[in-house]
Chain A
């Protein structure tokens, strides 16, 4: 009887002594696509600032867009990596007919998201220009890439 009681106590106490399972890491990665809409004007240059406003994500990489004119990664400060803010800029001196018009994905920013909170983004357009170097009005937007 004593033996059975000991086994029972040991069986009940086993989980207490068992190694606690490591907490599942909440770190995940997300890609944010940056779009510039220059309407009917061919887009030759852009510069904008992207930032994560609630400090739950860090920038881990930046790649170019879809259009051949902006396929190369844009200029950015390497110090922005592992930070929450970056200024990206690119230009193309090609002919207007080879430049994108309308809504174009010009870059993708890769983020490492820490924690369960959903990151909030802010995108500020700094300047945009046409093939003659004139400033043009454009709309810049960003959206999370769900395909990843």
Chain B
């Protein structure tokens, strides 16, 4: 049989009118499903879907566990480093404001004048005594002309 003949035969294929009317009749009628069967189907479907979802998320959790743990360790290490590391100040930076100026010399001079106990770090020139010479050393440092930054 050649293609032309088959094409013609396809056109000639028509369902019998009775079959067509019967099928149309079926779709009009509701199919009755008892309530207990409907519930059982629903329950089974829910259980099935829940198991699948749990399996999927469970695998994600496993995959995320180690990177999350590593990130937490890094975070804790950073916090510990920030808490334990003190900023480094110049020896002459007596008031710890990040720069050496006349206020550092002034702060030390005030402390010497008030007879408050002085720490060994105040002994700027390292002669074993905290006195006006240490103050003068800070002041001299404060007014020093530096060629690099123009201060």
Name A residues whose Cβ lies closer than 8 Å to a Cβ of B: 44-47, 49, 74-77, 79-80, 83, 85-91, 93, 126-127, 129, 133, 135
Q: How far is the CB of B148 from chain A (nearest CB, A)?
A: 14
Q: Majority SS of interface residues in chain B?
A: helix
A133 touches B103 (CB 8 A): yes
Closest Cβ neighbor of A79 among chain B residues: B145
| Residue from A44, A80, A126 whose CB has the most chain B CB atoms within 10 Å | A126
CA distance A76 to B141 in the complex (A): 9
| List of B residues within 8 angstroms of A86 by Cβ | 143, 145
B101 at the interface (CB under 8 A from A): yes
Report the Cα distance A32→B143, complex, angstroms: 19
Count residues of chain B with CB under 8 A from any CB of chain A: 18
Partner of A45, one of B103, B113, B136, B145: B103
Show 26 A/B contacts (Cβ-Cβ < 8 Å), sorted by A.
A44-B106, A45-B106, A47-B102, A47-B103, A47-B143, A49-B151, A75-B102, A75-B105, A75-B139, A75-B142, A77-B140, A77-B143, A85-B145, A86-B143, A86-B145, A87-B143, A89-B101, A91-B105, A91-B106, A91-B109, A93-B109, A93-B110, A129-B102, A133-B95, A133-B106, A135-B103
Interface membership of B84, Cβ < 8 A: no
Complex interface residues of chain B between 86 and 112 (CB less than 8 A to chain A): 95, 101-103, 105-107, 109-110
Residues of A within 8 A of B4 (CB): none
- Answer whether residue B3 sits at the interface, using C-beta atoms and an 8 A cutoff: no
A89 touching B102, Cβ below 8 Å:
yes
Smallest CB separation, A72 vs chain B (Å): 12
Q: How far is the CA of A129 from the CA of B109 in the complex (A)?
A: 13
A88, B138: Cα distance in complex, Å: 13
Select the residue from A44, A77, A133 with max chain B CB neighbours within 10 A: A133
Chain A nearest CB from B80 CB (Å) reads 33
A75–B103 alpha-carbon span in the complex (Å): 13
Q: A45-B102, A46-B102, A133-B103 are in contact. Are A89 and B142 (CB under 8 A)?
A: yes
Residue of B nearest to A131 (CB): B110
Residues on A with beta carbons closer than 8 Å to the beta carbon of B101: 47, 89, 126-127
Q: Mark B98-137, 1 if CB is under 8 A from A, else 0.
A: 0001110111011001000000000000000000000010
Instruction: Assess whether B12 is interfacial by the CB under 8 Å rule.
Output: no
B30: shortest Cβ distance to chain A, in Å?
88
Q: Is B144 an interface residue (CB 8 A)?
A: yes
Of the residues B95, B106, B136, B139, contact of A93 by C-beta under 8 Å: B106
